[in-house]
Chains A and B, each alone.
Chain A
Amino acid sequence: MTTTIASQAAPPPPADMPRRKRKEDRAPREGGLASLLLSPTFVVLLLVILYPLLSALYQSLFAAESGLDADGFVVEGESFVGLGNYLDIFAGAESGRFYNALWNTTFFTFVTVGLETVIGVAFAVAMNRAFRGRAFLRAAILIPWAIPTAVSGLLWRWIFQSNGIANDLLNTQILWTAEGFAAQAAVIIAEIWKTAPFIGLLVLAGMQLIPEEVYEAAKLDGANAWKQFVSITLPLVRPALLVAVLFRLLDALRMFDLPFVLIGPRKTSVETLSILAWDESNQLQYGAASAFAIILLVYVAVIAFVFIRVLGADVIGDADARAEKKAARAQKKAARAEKESAR
């Protein structure tokens, strides 16, 4: 990542140099030892990630037998249906429910993450100022994030019920917990309340790493607050911000408990893909539930991939870039010190 200011301060050296050097430093044996030490981790990862994943994939190819025998007992067993569960989901009689849930999931994700980002950054800017009670504000802002989602769902349900605080304050009679746009708005408000602090804190952490001198220099150059924010703060907190947004994206795509508790299951206007998967498994249709879970997994993976490729091309590489810059700076310093001592 390069920014005008940063590059003025320290022109980046040829990118390849430090990395190659590090590689040469490392003894070949060290790599073997590293993999040996990491192998338990990989085994655990295989067990807890790969196995459930493959198992769900396998399960999604089966459907439970339905129907009763002459004595009224359920015919047991499962039959292999291949991609039948997926076909049903995409083109079956109930596919409307799936597309609706897909739309809801996408809608909630982009609206909430978008608003959260804006509000979270605003929080961070506010908290980054020095003022009395700053520590208190920082602790207070974490509270929504610390409350379990199901509990905050109940809390907001109470606020949004027909004779609740929301209607009292607005002096209206909106039925937030019924169907429709009001229900979606309720979910969005509660979700933002809960997660904007998360973005705020991550961005704040990023802001605290920005050296004060950079701002002072900008002030001398006559940059106003907005200019400083756009040209210094935003570019420099970008890595932290992108990680925060990525985390929130992944989280929001799996949204389950908030609409479930706040509005209720099977409410069309707030039904998400996770709720659909839950609903199917609750009806003992494990095949269909697995298929929903796999579809959601693929969807999450696609969004994450696109995000990393397009927006956050530096999310991972940035750590390297910063290390390179640091190394370059150290090198320069050393060179200067050498020059001085030579003099």
Chain B
Amino acid sequence: MMQRRRDRRIAVGLALTAAAAITLTACSGSGSGAGTPAAEAELEGRGPIQYVSSPDASGAAQATIDAWNAEHPDEQVTWVELPLDADQQRQQMVQNAQVEGDAYSVLNLDVVWTSEFAANRWITALPEDALPVDELVPATVEAASYRDTLYGAPYYTDGALLYSRTDLLTAAGITEAPTTWAEMQEDCTAVLALPEAAGMSCYAGQFDKNEGLTVNFSEAVASAGGSLFDADGNPTVDTPEAKTALEFLVEGFESGMIPRDAITFQEEQGRQAFQEGKLVFLRNWPYIYKSLSATDGSSSVAGKFGVSAIPGEDGPGVSTLGGRNIAISSFAENKATALEFIAFFTNREQEEARLALSSRAPVFPEFFEDAAVTANYPYLPTLLTSLENAQPRPKVVAYGATTAAIQDEIYAALTGDKTPNAALTELQTKLTDITNG
């Protein structure tokens, strides 16, 4: 009897633990990536296709799809909507590729995923004449290529801007936005001495431990004249330039030029702080321009701020390139239709039509200086300057591991757990391991 009772107990215990395990094992999946690599065959086949992307609240992308569908009754495009979270989008697309599913034809990829998808042969190389590449912002074409082959069509782009409190700068007798770190520091000293700047801090970016930190660090390194990887893809972070960049950030925190709580800032917290009038300078993306200039009382800096290119060590800094590319899944059917669709989706007319609906920066340079467009989006000319010398984030296949290593080491340096030297040496070792496989 005792024995039986004990058995039952164990059985129930096992059932409980097993139930607990389901959720765990479910996430490990079966990722046998075996199978034939998709050949760079001709892009053939016509018929209905699926456009796979994050939701688009502006409705701009849907308008383009409707326009296409009206003209192509036999080659309809259906929108497969993925979650808003970029990690989840990537995961779903990777899973689809690993089972070689044909449910996704045209993929909307973050620029940093391009190398990974191309190197795994999950997306198809595009023919050289598919897109008017010479007419696009060069950095966007570069970001859509892997090893000099074009894999995606640039859809929209994004770059860094320095937001500054022009009202306070003027009050301190400064007319020009700073172009170097030293100038920014000087301007801060002058502004913070003003009585109306009481309680303010100087500068912030995105320093929380996430993708924003990788962006900000690689921008700082590029702005100091260095780079994270050389032309052959070997890591170069144990260099004087990278050290200058990291020390700029670390000393910024130490001296209080960067407020202490900026270590918890992602894009939104920084925007909030600037919008509440707590910062003189902020590095952020163009998307916050709209909420900063809101005149409904939600922004205390409306009409009091300006934008410029981010500052660097000896002159204007180098922005990191953001944005999205449109690519064709290697496992899709009807690739000929897909190719035609991405050309249509990213052509001049559609980009122009979308500009009216969404504030996303186009990939054709002429729109950045078009008077009708800049009336609505006054930051576009500045953004173009920023994009003209922008650099893509590290173009490595194992981007996930790379950005994780960068975040680990740089965050440790910013929080004072490691010296900049130790962090960079260790980062160099880690990145070498990652790139060598």
Contacts and interface: CB of A to CB of B under 8 A. Distances in A.
Interface of A: 15-16, 19, 48-49, 52-53, 55-56, 59-60, 62, 64, 66-68, 71-74, 76-78, 161-163, 173, 175-179, 246, 250-251, 253-254, 264-267, 274, 277-279, 281-284, 286, 289-290, 293, 296-297, 300-301, 304-305, 308, 315-317, 320
B37 A163 contact: no
B208 A264 contact: yes
Given A59-B28, A179-B411, 7 more contacts: A177-B264, A282-B400, A283-B400, A284-B94, A286-B29, A289-B28, A304-B13
Nearest to A263: B209
Contacts of A266: 209, 404, 407-408
B269 interface: yes
A301 B14 contact: yes
Interface string B122-148: 000000000000000000000000110
A53 B18 contact: yes
A293 B33 CA distance: 20
Contact of B25 (A53, A173, A179, A251): A53
Contacts of A296: 24
B273 interface: yes
B264 A52 contact: no
A304 B17 contact: yes
Contacts of A179: 411, 415
A177 B27 contact: no
Given A52-B26, A264-B210, A59 B31 contact: yes
Contact of A316 (B12, B29, B87, B404): B12
Contact of B16 (A53, A67, A73, A246): A246
Contact of B147 (A71, A177, A278): A71
A343 B5 CA distance: 41
27 contacts: A56-B24, A64-B31, A76-B35, A161-B269, A162-B264, A163-B261, A178-B208, A178-B415, A264-B210, A265-B210, A277-B24, A277-B28, A279-B404, A281-B28, A281-B29, A289-B27, A289-B28, A290-B25, A293-B25, A297-B21, A300-B20, A301-B13, A301-B14, A304-B17, A305-B17, A316-B8, A317-B9
Given A173-B261, A289-B27, A76 B20 contact: no
B24 A297 contact: yes
Contacts of B33: 64, 76-78, 284
Contact of B21 (A15, A49, A64, A284): A49
B16 A304 contact: yes
B30 A250 contact: no
A293 B436 CA distance: 27
A71 B26 CA distance: 34
3 tightest A-B CB contacts, nearest first: A67-B437, A162-B261, A286-B31
A250 B16 contact: yes
Nearest to A290: B28
B260 interface: yes
A74 B25 contact: no
B273 A163 contact: yes
A196 to B, nearest CB: 20
Contacts of B19: 49
Contact of B34 (A48, A52, A78): A78
B32 A78 contact: yes
A15 to B, nearest CB: 8
B432 to A, nearest CB: 13
A263 to B, nearest CB: 9
Interface in B315-355: none
A243 to B, nearest CB: 10
Interface of B: 1, 5, 8-10, 12-14, 16-35, 37, 87, 91, 94, 119-121, 146-147, 208-210, 260-261, 263-264, 269, 272-273, 276, 397-398, 400-401, 404, 407-408, 411, 415, 436-437
A73 B121 contact: yes
A308 B398 contact: no
A68 B397 contact: yes
Contacts of A308: 9, 13
A253 B20 contact: yes
Given A48-B22, A264-B209, A175 B264 contact: yes
A315 B121 CA distance: 54
A55 B24 CA distance: 12
A274 B264 contact: no
A178 B210 CA distance: 11
Contacts of A253: 20
A86 B23 CA distance: 20
A62 B400 CA distance: 20
* A266, A278, A284 — most chain B CB neighbours (10 Å): A284
B30 A163 contact: no
Contacts of B401: 283
A297 B17 contact: yes
B301 to A, nearest CB: 16
A85 to B, nearest CB: 11
A74 B27 contact: no
A56 B31 CA distance: 10
A266 B410 CA distance: 13
A251 B10 CA distance: 19
A293 B264 contact: no
Contact of B119 (A72, A265, A315): A72
Contacts of B13: 301, 304-305, 308
Nearest to A93: B433
Contacts of A176: 264
B136 to A, nearest CB: 23
Contact of A55 (B25, B210, B273): B25
Contact of B1 (A19, A173, A178): A19
A178 B263 contact: yes
